[in-house]
Amino acid sequence: MSNQLDDLNDLLSTLYKREEDSEERLVALAERYMKDDIKTLENLVTTFKNRLNHLESVHAKLEERRQQSFERQRQVLINKIKKLDLSNNDNVLTTVENKNDQNDIVDTKTLQALSYTVFDTILFSITKGSAPDFTLISQSALFETVYINISRGYDSYLFSEVPASAKVAIIQGRSILEELRDREERFLDEPDLWDIYAPQIQDWWINCALPLIFGERDPDWDNTVLPTYDEMQRWKSNEFSQRQFFPAIMDLIELAKDKASIVASSFNFNELLSV
Say yes or no to pLDDT of 258 above 90.
yes
What's the pLDDT band for 182 if we cut at 50, 70, 90? Answer: very high
Mention every residue, 6+ apart, whose C-beta is less than 8 A from residue 167.
Answer: 91, 92, 93, 271, 272, 275
Cα-Cα-Cα-Cα dihedral sign, residues 121, 127, 128, 131:
negative
Residue 3: is its pLDDT beyond 70?
A: no
Is the pLDDT reported for residue 152 higher than 80? yes
DSSP H or E segment with residue 103: none
Could you report the per-residue pLDDT of 27-80, keeping only the tens digit for each?
666 677 676 667 776 776 677 677 666 656 655 555 555 555 555 555 555 555
Task: Identify whether the C-beta of residue 122 lies closer than 8 Å to the C-beta of residue 170.
Answer: yes
Cα–Cα distance for residue pair 74/200, rounded to 1 Å = 6
- Asked if residues 121 and 272 have their Cβ atoms less than 8 Å apart, the reply is yes
Closest CA to 121 of 243, 263, 221: 263
Domain ranges of the chain: 1-83, 87-273
φ/ψ (deg, to 5) at 201 = -70, -40
Residues in the chain: 275
- Residue 229 class from Cβ within 10 Å (0-12 exposed, 13-18 middle, 19+ buried)? middle
pLDDT (tens digit per residue) in 205-227: 999 999 999 999 999 999 999 99
Contact 174, 138 (CB under 8 A): no
Q: What is the dihedral of CA 242, 243, 245, 248, to 10 degrees?
A: 110
CA separation for the pair 208, 202 (Å, rounded): 10
Counting Cα atoms < 13 Å in the Cβ hemisphere of 16 gives 6
- What is the spatial distance between Cα 221 and Cα 218, in angstroms, rounded to a whole number? 6
Enumerate long-range contacts of 2-9, CB under 8 Å, 24 or more apart: none
pLDDT at 160 over 80: yes
Could you list the beta-strand ranges (E) of the chain. Answer: none
* Residue type at 122 in one-letter notation: I
* Percentages (nearest 5) of helix, strand, coil residues in the chain: 80, 0, 20
- How much of the chain exceeds pLDDT 70, in percent? 64
What is residue 125's predicted lDDT score, i.e. its pLDDT?
94
